[in-house]
Amino acid sequence: MRILQLHSNYIEYKPIQKEIAIAEETDKETKRLEEVVVLFTAVEEGDDETVAHKAVDEVKAFLEKLKVNRILIYPYAHLSSNLAKPSEALKVVKAMEAHAKAQGIETHRAPFGWNKQFTISIKGHPLAEQSRIILPTKAKKEAEKVSEALKAEEKLVSYWYILQPDGKMVPVEEFNFKGHENLEKFAKYEISKVRASQQMPPHVPLMKRLEIADYEAGSDPGNIRWYPKGRLIKSLIEQYVTAKVVEYGAMEVETPVMYDFNHPSLADYINRFPARQYVLKSEDRELFLRFAACFGQFLMVHDTQFSYRHMPLRVYELTRYSFRREKSGEVVGLRRLRAFTMPDCHAFCTDLEQAKKEFITRFKLCIQVLEGIGLTKDDYEAAFRFTKDFYEENKDFIKSLAEIFGKPVLVEMWSEPFFYFRLKWDFNFVDNQDKAAALSTDQIDVENAKRYEITYIDEKGERRYPLILHCSPSGAVERCIYALLEKAYKQQQKGEPPTLPLWLSPTQVRLIPMSEKFLEHCEKMAETLEANQIRVDIDERPLTIQKRIREAEMEWIPYIIVVGEKELESEALPVRDRKARKIRKMTLKELMDEIKSQVQDKPFRPLPLPKHLSKRPQFYG
């Protein structure tokens, strides 16, 4: 809303003719007001009652200064190029009038929708002429864009159970959680939303101190800056997940990050997905940033020729980025971001039988992927979510999933379908604040093929709609890193040294020469290690050994070797092994074999920083 506020000796105005259909009724008499503050007001798109109140409140504060208590609200479109619809504008203007009257201000209002003639005399004092811009509080503006799914979710009724590996389903309040403390925390988090956090999430100081990632104040909250070490870790996980999904049989593609809000299939889908979007304007279009890879892939497959012979048809994209405009109070560290990297893999299946089979393949794939990243079943809990109907018809199938998982699973059952899927599972990491965050997930989608007009040709030559499985095999990559850091912190709380998996450690081996004399020997060792695809660096700074050891330990470096006189003479190196918490005598060859055996099936990238510590900048602290 824009207001031109004029402290006037008098104003005279006269309605001449109606400009729009919804113009208010009025007589065409000349009106005159004296000693009045005139508010020429333009109502803009997105303005609402709250804005009207805010505007009046601001004006009121001003009136008190001027010691005036008479206003004229004068609708005046020419102040803005982004006007609200007349019907909305009239509502807002009326809200201003009502609120001003309620505040005890003598309030007059010129009719809305008329072409008017006016004469005004403005007082000359410094405060007589002012302009104001009142913006809607963000909440209100967003409320207009909240999807139907979000609204539906508010009304959603869930029934909670624990599904045991043997297939028995027990109401959650009857389940004995002994030995399943993590599941208990997860269930509480999901159901009662109770949590007892006194501290800030430990991964946040860790991600900063380890120079992995940090907040970027120059962006929107939840958009993260990645330092070289973090970029390496993230990149390795990205490569790993992609390799596993390709191995499973998916075709990797790339699709746009932004889409037309008014595209018919998309607009409809957005309303079935419980998330908020970033919206941006470009020329006359309203675009939104994707929150998953579904759009691009569906639009692509819509144009694809395929039959039952090609199915299940598997399409994959690593979205860098997916955007979700989470509530600001929810965005935290690497747990919940507004821009994140998510592998998203869809499988188009002929029928429920094929979908179920594929679902099981992917379920196993996800367990494997997380394991590779460094998260075992002990680190996360599973939730299965489905409609009652689906469960009744597919009991054995759901039981078989629980059996594969091998641990009790939290079940959320809905009496009616609210979303576009009928069955969904997710793996959830429970962190040091007892909060849960979903990692891998898969869903059976029964709606979107129709919505996007995706069809395949069946054995009889007829067009049919496939079922679509949506899977993120690892969940957001940032969230995996969050889970690894939180897990490391848990280790530390138990008195163990915190570690990252060896294949993700930015430095795998650090060499510390006793003095310059031994630098050359270190260089040779480093060359050998590098030739074997091991990330090695050399701390040749003129600091004490103790200090350099300490810093290497604080960086969580898995292997540290001090090189001095003895190492020139002997093959046996004193390797400080972080995990074993001791110095192990071994040859370089033995060390290399040990490392290779641990990282063999994982991708490799070279050291992301200068090899020599003396050449290395400090990104944080």
Partner RNA sequence: GCCUCGGUAGCUCAGCCUGGUAGAGCAACGGCCUUGUAAGCCGUAGGUCGCGGGAUCGAAGCCCGCCCGAGGCUCCA
Identity at 456, one-letter amino acid code? Y
CA distance 388 to 392: 6
| Token pair for 365 | 């794939």
- Looking only at the bridges linking them, the beta strands covering 463-464 and 467-472 are unpaired
Nearer to RNA, 162 or 294 (CB): 294
Based on CB atoms, which residue is closest to RNA, 86 or 296? 296
Residue 107 engages RNA in binding (rule: CB under 7 A): no
Number of residues that bind RNA (CB under 7 A): 77
Q: Which stretch binds RNA (CB under 7 A): 233-241, 308-316, 435-443, 480-488?
A: 435-443
Give the E-state strand segments of 396-546 in sequence order: 409-414, 421-430, 436-445, 456-457, 463-464, 467-472, 509-513, 536-538
- Site residues for RNA, 395-434, by CB under 7 A, read 419, 424, 426, 433
Query: Under rule CB under 7 A, which residues in 336-355 are in contact with RNA?
Result: 336, 342
User: Residue 358, CB half-sphere, CA atoms under 13 Å: how many?
Assistant: 26
Choose the binding region for RNA from 17-25, 199-207, 261-269, 350-358 (rule: CB under 7 A). 199-207
Number of Cβ within 10 Å of residue 135's Cβ equals 12
By C-beta, is 88 or 434 nearer to RNA? Answer: 434
Report the residue from 549, 588, 592, 607 that binds RNA according to the rule CB under 7 A: 549
How many Cα atoms are found within 13 Å in the side-chain-facing hemisphere of 316? Answer: 23
The number of C-alpha atoms within 13 Å of 160 and in the hemisphere containing its C-beta is: 15
Least separation in angstroms between residue 144's CB and RNA is 13
Report if residue 547 touches RNA, rule: CB under 7 A: yes
Q: Which of residues 121 and 137 has its CB atom nearest to RNA in the complex?
A: 137
Q: Which is nearer to RNA, 93 or 512 (CB)?
A: 512
Should residue 566 be labelled a site residue for RNA when binding is judged by CB under 7 A? yes
Residue with tokens 């892939």: 297
313, two tokens: 């048809």
> In sequence order, which residues have a C-beta less than 8 Å from that of residue 150 and are 6 or more positions away?
274, 275, 276
Q: List all residues 6 or more positions away from 102 whose beta carbon is below 8 Å from its beta carbon.
A: none
C-beta atoms surrounding 550 within 10 Å: 12
What is the C-alpha separation between 56 and 96, in angstroms, rounded? 6
Residue 126 engages RNA in binding (rule: CB under 7 A): no
For the stretch 297-308, what's the b/e string if a residue is b when 16 or more beta carbons lie within 10 angstroms of its beta carbon? Answer: bbbbbeeeeeeb
Contacts 24+ apart (CB under 8 A), 86-89: 86/20, 86/22, 86/112, 86/113, 87/22, 88/43, 88/47, 89/43, 89/47
Position 221 contacts RNA (CB under 7 A): yes
Q: How far apart are CA 558 and CA 536, in angstroms?
A: 11
139 binds RNA per the rule CB under 7 A: yes
List, in sequence order, the alpha helices (H) in 407-506: 448-451, 477-493
Query: Considering the rule CB under 7 A, would residue 330 count as an interface residue with RNA?
Result: yes
Should residue 157 be labelled a site residue for RNA when binding is judged by CB under 7 A?
Answer: no
Which range touches RNA (CB under 7 A), out of 15-23, 119-127, 152-160, 255-263?
152-160
Closer to RNA by Cβ: residue 97 or 486: 486
Among 553, 594, 598, 603, which residue interacts with RNA (rule: CB under 7 A)?
Answer: 553
Least distance CB 159 / RNA (angstroms): 15
The reply to whether 167 sits near RNA by the rule CB under 7 A is no
Categorise residue 556: left if φ over 0, alpha if ψ from -120 to 50, beta otherwise: left
Residue in 88, 260, 326, 594 binding RNA, rule: CB under 7 A: 326
374 makes contact with RNA (CB under 7 A):
no
In this complex, which beta carbon is closest to RNA, that of residue 148 or of residue 458?
A: 148
443-472 residues in contact with RNA (CB under 7 A) are 443
Question: Interaction with RNA in 470-499: which residues (CB under 7 A)?
Answer: 497
Q: How far is the CB of 424 from RNA (least distance, A)?
A: 6
| Site membership for RNA, residue 516 (CB under 7 A) | yes
Check residue 151 for interaction with RNA (CB under 7 A): no
Both tokens of 108, joined, read 């007059």
Residue closer to RNA (CB basis): 19 or 553? 553
Q: Which of 11, 204, 206, 588 binds RNA (CB under 7 A)?
A: 204
Q: How far is the CB of 528 from RNA (least distance, A)?
A: 18
Is residue 554 within the footprint of RNA (CB under 7 A)?
Answer: yes
Among 99-107, 197-205, 306-314, 603-611, the segment contacting RNA (CB under 7 A): 197-205
Site membership for RNA, residue 154 (CB under 7 A) = yes
Using the rule CB under 7 A, is 587 a contact of RNA? no
State the virtual CA torsion across 482, 487, 493, 498 in degrees, nearest 10: -90
Question: How far apart are alpha carbons 174 and 190 in whole angstroms?
Answer: 16
CB of 515 to RNA, least distance (A): 4
List residues bridging with 319 in a β-sheet.
342
Considering only residues 236-255, where is the footprint of RNA by CB under 7 A?
none
- Output 399 or 521, the one with its CB closest to RNA: 521
Nearer to RNA, 50 or 307 (CB): 50
